[in-house]
Chains A and B, each alone.
Chain A
Amino acid sequence: MRYDRVKFTLNGAVRDVAAPPAARLIDVLREECGLTGTKEGCGEGECGACTVLVDGEPVCSCIVPVAQVAGAEVTTIEGLNGEHPLQKLFMDEVGAQCGICTPGMIMAALSLGPAPSLDDVRTALAGNLCRCTGYSAIYRAVMKWRGMPIPETAGAT
């Protein structure tokens, strides 16, 4: 199999990996780079568990060939260094239950603008499946992060 060198920025640092050009970005992240925070739920871009940011845009890393991120900036959940307020809010608001969708959910939520409506949040997260929460607690975490009022039925306990 042919291995190419692919150079990209990963969580702020330059990475130069050898991989088959069609290798999935998720495999390069998890296996070559040892960053297992990006999760695989379906392998076909349907569940969003593997969401990472490429040049600031959320993408499903299970359907992105690594060659496509050459020269790009890739940010994974590890790139937030555990310091992003959304991370703590996901735990406090129980937006994370089993947690397997959480890294992808957080990365997708980062694309939201400063004052999202509940519908904006719904739309931004429409490609991310969660089987535990029914999503309401995720909305509470995201709206709180953005300082937006929480609708009564998605309200705090």
Chain B
Amino acid sequence: MAAVGKSVARKDGIGKATGGAKYADDLTFPGMLFGRTIRSTIPRGRVRSVKLDFDTAGFTIVDHRDVPAKNAVDLMSQDQPFLVETEVRHMAEPILLLAHEDKEKLSAARVEIEYDEEAPLFDPEQSTQVFKAIDIVKGDVAAALAKADVIVEGTYRTGHQEHIYIEPNGVIAVPEDGGIAIYGSVQCPFYVIKALRCMLGSAHPNVRVIQTETGGGFGGKEEYPSIIAGHAVLLALKSGRPVKIIYDRVEDMVATTKRHPAIVRHRTGLTRDGKLVAMDVDVLLDGGAYVTLSPTVLSRGCIHAAGPYSCDDTRIQGRAVFTNTPPNGAFRGFGAPQTEFAVEVHMDRIAEQLGIDPVELRRINALRPGDRTATGQTLRDDCSAHMVLEEAVKRTDFTRKRREYRGTNRTIGLSLFYHGAGFTGAGERNLKSKARLELTLTGVRIATGSTEIGQGTRTMHAQIVTDALAIPYESVEVAQPDTSRVADSGPTVASRTCMVVGKILEECALEMKEKLGGLTPAEYYARSGGLTVERMYEPPDWIQWDDNTYLGDAYATYGWGCDVVELEVDPDTYEVRPLRITAVQEFGRPIHPALARGQIEGGTAQGMGYALLERVVMRDGAMANSTLTNYTIPTTLDMPEVDVVMLENPYPGGPFGAKGLGELPMDGPAPAVVNALRHMGLDVREIPATPELIAACGTIA
């Protein structure tokens, strides 16, 4: 019985529905203390003095001097301290840590911090401190612009977005024999290990990270948990007791990472009949106060900035810059939702100026197999831009509705988008991810660091192993990620967990099948004892990438999507009521159709929030609306029906033809919404398109 391609029973069991599944805050350990983080209340300056204004009996108190080795979070750069020494770069920056066994006493403790304040920098356009600059040059854009019949220019802006995983961040550090264990809500247990090794140095070698059931991540638990884990470990080392740090919602919103705000400028040359001849794109990302992952977010953003279109002469320049705001970081889509919003809204503005139907403009220019992307990558047969476009147009009766809705308060718009799967360029080769299969008495156990954060990792990996090994699905178990006993399969990010880690598991299973030689696991065990197979990822050998020029095969493959949004706008209040979304997406082949559909429905909802609702208000460098009362995400009443269409175009390098899926659905909704608004005469070029913003963009005919 094949498992791949079927919506088989999930490996999660029933625990999530009975309340039995254990999340970080559900765990307690004997003698456990609670930890609290004292944070900066200014966006920029220097700490002059710290005064403890409480009875310190029973408290464990930690500052930067308690860091055993290096006070730096080891990520892409080592610029961010676990705890402020003197320099404060943003609001809510951690300065001091407290722990106590009594939560009431802990929260009542008062700490007075005096600062020498400095003038903060909030405007990324004024920032001269560049974390990363990228310049992608294909052909000669200046010459091509000079020859173009028509030039269309525009500037597009996207705001911060907060992840709002429903389980806030949290970890517990537990001293154990000869070391320390960290239990936590994390996407990337091995990132935490890397950061802790740097912080602890050689004095504390035995560190392990165990992922607890994780209540959503979306990128928000990619890099930030390393900081919380560091804090809990410092308190645990000093007190000698387990320490639990769970953020409340406000702290999570004020202090942790968000999606990078972006300003994207387009200058595009076309022939009079709509052929793209020159695309000149400039991308500016607000990185916030530390580097975090901004260079790679910028990289993915720039690579996707020309959209799924063919244009011989293209230049994409990008910068991620410093500001005195909390650092921005990973969020589903990783730079692409920002730049694909810009290019897709720009395409509809081009269509408007040329008097060409927006579908026709995309038909003329959308990438086909054999075409070259902005980085000069020649696309293979798994390019489906035209397939998703035609299916979406047909399924929604787009052209007729577009015509009929004109002049009413109902409208319809679309977006065409793509998303590269896996790490960029040479990333997967450098990562050297590993996966392991262990024979058990009754079957096999998958042992990887890939985390289940709701998307279905356990189930989907087990399906792949089941079919490759030709054993019953029920005999495949999945180990809880514990860095001391699973293979480092790389981070659970970048739409790579199915396509990349799933591929290694498929190869492990094939190797194990050969070694079993036709014996069942029990028979093999009886004859030869245990068996473990571990393999490393080998990206396709044709991938060529130059990290200096940003030219080459940026991704092994891409997922493709076309979203159509129908909505109504209240002519008096400018409130938008989405009526129906059609999401046509091609991502190779769904391993588990119901889980895949869940990724599309959920990603589409996040995209609708990004488009219309989710506005982060920054005041004096801090998020001013840091509660779910005034930062609103889509509820049941905000989300319309989503018609999901999953098209197949297998990627030969993925397990059973699968590509990555997780991020693709995030890219499409915002431009489709704004393009629908444009069809009503509302010249929106920014998200979130709140009623106030829309009202300033025109009147409804």
Contact = CB atoms under 8 A, between A and B. Distances in A.
Interface of A: 1, 30, 35-44, 46-47, 49, 76-78, 80, 82, 86-88, 90-94, 96-103, 106, 121-123, 125-137, 151-154, 157
B604 A134 contact: yes
Nearest to B665: A134
B445 to A, nearest CB: 21
A117 B160 CA distance: 36
Contact of A47 (B12, B22, B166, B636): B166
Nearest to B598: A94
A131 B248 contact: no
A121 B641 CA distance: 13
16 contacts: A30-B26, A39-B167, A40-B25, A44-B628, A44-B629, A82-B14, A98-B167, A98-B216, A101-B215, A103-B19, A131-B605, A131-B606, A131-B633, A134-B634, A135-B605, A157-B594
B598 A132 contact: yes
Nearest to A20: B104
Contacts of A44: 249, 627-629
A91 to B, nearest CB: 5
B373 to A, nearest CB: 30
Given A98-B453, A100-B166, A39 B23 contact: yes
B10 A91 contact: yes
Nearest to B17: A87
Interface in B638-675: 639, 641-644
Give the one of B19, B26, B248 with max A CB within 10 A.
Answer: B19
B17 A102 contact: yes
Given A91-B16, A92-B9, A136 B641 contact: yes
Given A101-B166, A131-B606, A36 B19 contact: yes
A76 B18 CA distance: 10
B18 A157 contact: no
A97 B598 contact: yes
A125 B608 CA distance: 19
B19 A35 contact: yes
Interface string B601-639: 111111000000000000000000001110001111101
A94 B17 contact: no
Contacts of A42: 249, 627-628
Contacts of A133: 598, 601-602, 605
A39 to B, nearest CB: 7
Contact of B216 (A43, A100, A135, A137): A100
A37 B16 CA distance: 9
Contacts of A134: 601-606, 634, 639, 642
Contacts of B9: 91-92
Nearest to B246: A40
B454 A125 contact: no
B310 to A, nearest CB: 32
B455 interface: yes
Give the one of A38, A49, A123, A131 with max B CB within 10 A.
Answer: A131
A43 B213 CA distance: 20
In the A-B complex, list the 7 residue pairs whose CB atoms are closest, starting with the nearest. Answer: A37-B19, A99-B16, A100-B215, A98-B454, A134-B605, A97-B454, A46-B628
Contact of A96 (B17, B248, B635): B17
Nearest to B248: A43
Contact of B19 (A41, A78, A121, A122): A78
A8 B162 CA distance: 39
B20 interface: yes
Given A36-B22, A94-B595, A132 B17 contact: no
Interface string B81-93: 0000000000000
Given A46-B627, A153-B642, A153-B643, 19 more contacts: A37-B20, A43-B248, A47-B166, A47-B628, A87-B14, A92-B9, A92-B10, A97-B602, A103-B17, A121-B636, A122-B636, A122-B637, A123-B636, A126-B636, A131-B166, A131-B218, A133-B598, A134-B606, A152-B643
Nearest to A138: B636
B321 interface: no
A77 B18 contact: yes
Given A90-B17, A134-B604, A36 B26 contact: yes
Give the one of B7, B10, B635, B642 with max A CB within 10 A.
Answer: B635
B168 interface: yes
Contacts of B16: 90-91, 96, 98-99, 102
Contacts of B456: 94, 97
Given A126-B635, A129-B635, A132-B454, A153 B19 contact: no
B167 A126 contact: no
A129 B628 contact: yes
B165 interface: yes
A103 to B, nearest CB: 5
Contacts of A99: 12, 15-17, 21, 213, 215, 454
Contact of B637 (A30, A126, A130): A126
Contacts of A96: 12, 16-17
Nearest to B214: A98
Interface string B531-566: 000000000000000000000000000000000000
Contacts of B605: 131, 133-135
A38 B20 CA distance: 10
Give the one of A86, A103, A125 with max B CB within 10 A.
Answer: A103
A107 to B, nearest CB: 10
Give the one of A39, A41, A42, A98 with max B CB within 10 A.
Answer: A98
A94 B248 contact: no
A61 to B, nearest CB: 13
B593 interface: yes
Contact of A157 (B7, B249, B642): B7
B597 interface: yes
Contact of A151 (B22, B165, B641): B641
Give the one of A88, A101, A126, A153 with max B CB within 10 A.
Answer: A153
B168 A78 contact: no
Contacts of B593: 157
A49 B166 CA distance: 8
Contacts of A87: 14, 17-18
A129 B166 CA distance: 8
Give the one of A49, A91, A96, A99 with max B CB within 10 A.
Answer: A99
B576 interface: no
Interface in B211-263: 213-218, 248-249
Interface in B62-120: 104
Interface string B141-169: 00000000000000000000001111110
Contacts of B15: 99
B597 A41 contact: no
Nearest to B253: A42
